[in-house]
Amino acid sequence: MQTLVLTQQHVGKIVGLLGRDRFTERVIDRLQAALGDPHHGTAPARDGFTRCPGDSGVVEWMPYHVPDESMTLKTVSYTPANPTSRHRLPTINGTLTRFDDETGRLVAVCDAGLLTAVRTGAASAVASRLLARPDSRVLGLVGAGAQAVTQAHALSRVFPIEEILVHDCEPDHAASFLDRADFLNRKVRQADPAELAAAADIICTATTVGVGQGPVLPDEGLRDHVHINAVGADLVGKTELPLSLLRSALVVPDHLAQARNEGECQRLAEDEIGPDLSTVCRDPESWVKHREGRTVFDSTGYALEDHVALDVLIELAEETGIGERMLIEHLPTDALDPYAFAN
């Protein structure tokens, strides 16, 4: 009846004990299995509010339901001014909650900062494993913020990545990425978008480009077999890729309804959109031939990814005894008397 509370410190301790590599690999493998399971669960497209400053931010709620088992709800905010403002806070902040499906009781509460980044990297790793050439060696990153770290990490776990080329419109962010990615033990260097486009086998775009301010990649000079994980198109009107590039590629959304509303797919007609990632996971062989052409994973952020990442973390918390158990929701001696405990 108590709720498991996992703060930033608990998450850090758990990931530190298992190691970044093993934690990321576990989330990747569990996510691919869940995406491929036709009976897993359901998620409506997320919803939210735009908010200050200047309506550039949002707060959203993302539910995922596994009937007869559990429900995960992430509340997440996007505040692109945060890292460079006086606050020096992340762009993405959030909290995960887990509920028991039978009783509706709160099972766990968990900080969602690192888990969001890891599961977003894991989703790109799964999509790339299915849609990119297995011998991909050069990774291009456009946007060198928080998500770029876990994109590079997750892709380095599933591909023989030798070199990472990075571009960011903030020179400080591109420069500091070299230190933040040092743990990957790969050759990392800055490149302009044209050089990056010409060299990369896989590209991840993870920018906070403003609504209507894209694209962040050129539409010419890309490799014929390039696979792109478009991570930053996740608001109405906010897109990162040139339309001509999308139209020349197999476009695979994470969650079709959500991607049509706020992903790269918002600019495509229905017949220009390929299968969703779950469909590809369930029948990978049918899509192998597309690895020789251009492919795009339209990653808007699917609540299933949060559910799976939270599963992994709760299991590790139970194994290691890390985390705090608290009675958050009221537990009256008489279920019919809400005052029973308030004397």
Ligand X SMILES: NC(=O)c1ccc[n+]([C@@H]2O[C@H](COP(=O)([O-])OP(=O)(O)OC[C@H]3O[C@@H](n4cnc5c(N)ncnc54)[C@H](O)[C@@H]3O)[C@@H](O)[C@H]2O)c1
Cβ-proximal residue to ligand X, closest one = 145
234 annotated active-site: yes
Nearest approach, Cβ of residue 124 and ligand X (Å): 8
Strand partners, 109: 5, 97
Residues in contact with ligand X by CB under 6 A are: 78, 80, 83, 91-92, 116, 120, 142-148, 167-170, 173, 206-209, 216, 231-232, 234, 299-301
Nearest approach, Cβ of residue 97 and ligand X (Å): 18
Structure tokens, 144:
């060198």
Q: Which is nearer to ligand X, 97 or 147 (CB)?
A: 147
> How many angstroms separate the CA atoms of 45 and 57, rounded?
18
> How many angstroms separate the CA atoms of 4 and 102, rounded?
18
Contact 289, 133 (CB under 8 A): no
Q: Which is nearer to ligand X, 213 or 320 (CB)?
A: 213
Q: Which is nearer to ligand X, 298 or 311 (CB)?
A: 298
Q: Which is nearer to ligand X, 84 or 286 (CB)?
A: 84
Nearest approach, Cβ of residue 318 and ligand X (Å): 26
The phi, psi pair for 169, rounded to 5°, reads -70, -15
The neighbour count for residue 297, using CB atoms within 10 Å, is: 29
Annotated catalytic residue, options 111, 168, 201, 234: 234
Nearest approach, Cβ of residue 106 and ligand X (Å): 24
132 — alpha (psi -120 to 50), left (phi > 0) or beta? beta
Q: Which of 172, 258, 266 shows the shortest CA–CA distance to 212?
A: 266
- Residues designated as active site: 234
